[in-house]
């Protein structure tokens, strides 16, 4: 099994998000938040794109996590009921795609961090925001979405 890194331009995404705060709530709680968010997006008649998960803090004891679903088409939706609409701007990312059932996410994250140290020596790239996991569908319900997990780290030169 190999882990390949790709540096590419990622387009902007309009994303409906929900934030979880406090101690790590566990996978079931995150899955429930995706379900709530999915119902909210569908109730407004919006088309669904990519699914996102971001860690907005450094620790699991006092953490802040964000689940998101890209919304497409329709009018510019407004947030409500605990849902916010955010714009993830177009940016350069380093991405790695892997199957978490075969490769530990810890290995993928550590590999990306090692790649950044290697690439950062000549001061070519710097971090530009929180890492995000990207899925093609709900990773808690779709085996193929889970098997094609992508981690993206926004970069700046």
User: What confidence tens digit (pLDDT) does each residue in 11-39 have?
Assistant: 999 999 999 888 777 778 888 999 999 99
Tens of pLDDT along 136-149?
Answer: 999 988 899 988 99
- The CATH architecture one would assign to domain 5-156 is Alpha-Beta Barrel (3.20)
DSSP β-ladder status, 126-127 and 13-22: unpaired
Q: Any idea where the domains of the chain sit in the sequence?
A: 5-156
**Cβ neighbours of residue 74 closer than 8 Å, sequence gap 6 or more:** 44, 45, 46, 47
Residue 91, pLDDT above cutoff 90: yes
In this prediction the pTM is 0.88
């Amino acid at each position: 099994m190999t882990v390949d890194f790709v540096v590419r331009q990622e387009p902007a995404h309009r994303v409906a998000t929900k934030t979880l705060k406090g101690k790590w709530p566990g996978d079931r709680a995150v899955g429930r938040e995706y379900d709530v968010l999915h119902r909210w997006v569908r109730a407004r008649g919006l088309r669904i794109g990519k699914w996102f998960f971001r860690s907005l803090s450094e620790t699991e004891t006092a953490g802040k996590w964000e689940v998101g679903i890209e919304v497409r088409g329709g009018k510019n939706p407004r947030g409500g009921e605990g849902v916010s609409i955010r714009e993830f701007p177009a940016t350069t990312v380093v991405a790695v795609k892997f199957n978490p059932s075969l490769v530990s996410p810890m290995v993928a994250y550590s590999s990306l961090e090692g790649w950044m140290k290697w690439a950062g020596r000549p001061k070519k790239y710097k971090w530009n925001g929180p890492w995000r996991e990207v899925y093609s569908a709900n990773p808690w319900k779709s085996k193929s979405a889970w098997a094609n997990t992508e981690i993206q780290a926004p970069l700046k030169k």
